[in-house]
Amino acid sequence: MDTVQTVTYQCPNCNAALEYDNALGKFRCFYCDSTFTDSEIRSIFEQRDSGVNLDTAEPELTEEQQTAEEFTGQSALYSCPNCGANVICDSLTASTRCHFCHTPVILSGRLSGEFKPDLIIPFATTRDMVETKFREFTKGKFLLPKGFSTSVAIDNITALYVPYWLKSGQVEADMTAVGNIVSSWTRGNTTYTNTKVFHVERTADMVFVRVPYDGSKRIDDTLMMNIEPFNYSGIKPFNMSYLSGCSAEKYDVTKEEATTHLDARIANAAKDEMKKMATQYSSLTDIQCNIRYNNQQYVYAMLPVWFFNYRYNDKDYEFAMNGQTGTMFGELPVSKSKAFLFGAGLFLALAIILTFFGGFFFGS
């Protein structure tokens, strides 16, 4: 097994480990409470590492080569021994658990630079915020299993950077359809309907920016689509330091595989926009669309998601929250015993009501 180089980002004031504070948007030392911006940390560590013997120094690398080398040297791939998930972490998350099944993960090797993302949206929500919102979400849902929202279960909430392919570009779209305009009126006891039929054509040039598709086969696409959108104004060039205290899933959906889904999503959006251009018709039928893509660009990004996995009656229930906007989505389990008691209670209440009111109205 290859030796994996690890790195910690240490506080310049006390040498304790730094972590990225989502609420502050800065790196924070939880020992002396010092805070630093990303640019300050970069400057400090560049100055620290600048004392190189120039006589023996390696040829200067380009900025792209430096970032790729940094990612390869500072990132590690952990493999879950239970479910096989591959997780990208830095040295601060060596004791993390698998975000899918919560089994402790083990170090298996260093990542190659091909998995280095281009962009990242840092977490903007804290664990305390997530736990509070999760408890509010489950409050009053009395059919949940007893242990679902306990502190032990909530401890399984994991901060995960999910791999995404983001596609930008332009489309030339055209649509043909049959449009109907229907009008009706009543004269006496007779209702008349008049239908006018039109040949409809629409064309449009559209720009699409960073349409997302998650790059992990293991993560449910429906789950991810329901916590969109992300606010791209918060996107930043990727830096390993943002992974401090978090995990990141390694992509296993290639760009080529993602393109099929992205193009379908873009085509549907273009079709919907052209249909909006023909709202004067009562209905559109026999719709035919042609989509041509121009200036296509792809970027590989890490987007923040809080995950919660709960296993109940041999079934996994997944819950996700957008780590930037706080949007939540997930399937909640139902306790069979509580559902039975609830159903029995309703049946009993209905029987009592029918007995009482039946006797009151109809006699006995």
* CB half-sphere exposure, 327, CA atoms < 13 A: 13
| Six-digit token string for 219 | 């993560």
How many whole angstroms separate alpha carbon 288 and alpha carbon 253?
30
Distance CA 91, CA 6 (A): 5
Instruction: Determine if the peptide bond prior to 81 is cis (ω within 30°).
Output: no
Question: By the 8 A CB rule, do 238 and 150 touch?
Answer: no
Alpha helical stretches, state H, 122-254: 127-138, 151-154, 221-225
Domain boundaries, given as residue ranges, for the chain: 1-168+210-264+300-354
Measure the CA angle with vertex 354, ends 349 and 357; round to 5°: 120
* Residue from 49, 67, 266, 57 nearest 173 by CA: 266
Q: Are 315 and 334 in contact (CB under 8 A)?
A: no
Residue 333 has a pLDDT of 66
Give the closest residue to 217 by CA, choosing from 259, 247, 257, 266. Answer: 257
DSSP symbols for 110-139: EPPGGG--SEE----S-HHHHHHHHHHHHT
Query: Cβ(101)–Cβ(309) under 8 Å?
Result: yes
CA dihedral 260→266→270→273, nearest 10 degrees, is 140
Query: 12-28 burial, b for 16+ CB within 10 Å, e for fewer?
Result: beeeeebbbbbeeebbb
Q: What is the pLDDT of residue 54?
A: 36
- Predicted pLDDT of residue 23: 64
Residues 6 or more apart from 311 whose CB is under 8 A from it? 101, 317
What does the alpha-carbon distance between residue 297 and residue 210 come to, in Å, rounded to a whole number?
Answer: 9
pLDDT of the residue at 47: 64
Q: What is the pLDDT along the chain (364 residues), one digit of tens a residue?
A: 333 333 446 677 776 666 667 667 777 776 677 888 877 777 776 665 554 443 444 455 566 656 665 565 556 666 666 676 766 665 444 335 566 665 655 444 545 567 788 999 999 988 888 888 877 877 766 656 665 555 545 667 888 889 999 999 999 999 999 999 999 999 989 999 999 999 999 999 999 999 999 998 888 888 899 999 999 988 999 887 787 767 787 788 999 999 999 999 999 999 999 999 999 999 999 999 999 999 999 999 999 999 887 666 777 778 889 999 999 888 776 655 554 444 445 555 565 555 655 554 455 4
Question: Which tokens in the block code for residue 167?
Answer: 């596609």
In the block, tokens 């720009």 appear at: 207
d(CA 296, CA 171): 9
Which of 332, 304, 350 has its CA nearest to residue 148? Answer: 332
Alpha carbon dihedral 335, 339, 340, 345, in 10-degree steps, equals 140
DSSP state of 61: P
**What predicted TM-score, i.e. pTM, was given to this entire model?**
0.67
Contacts 24+ apart (CB under 8 A), 313-319: 316/100, 316/101, 318/220, 318/223, 319/134
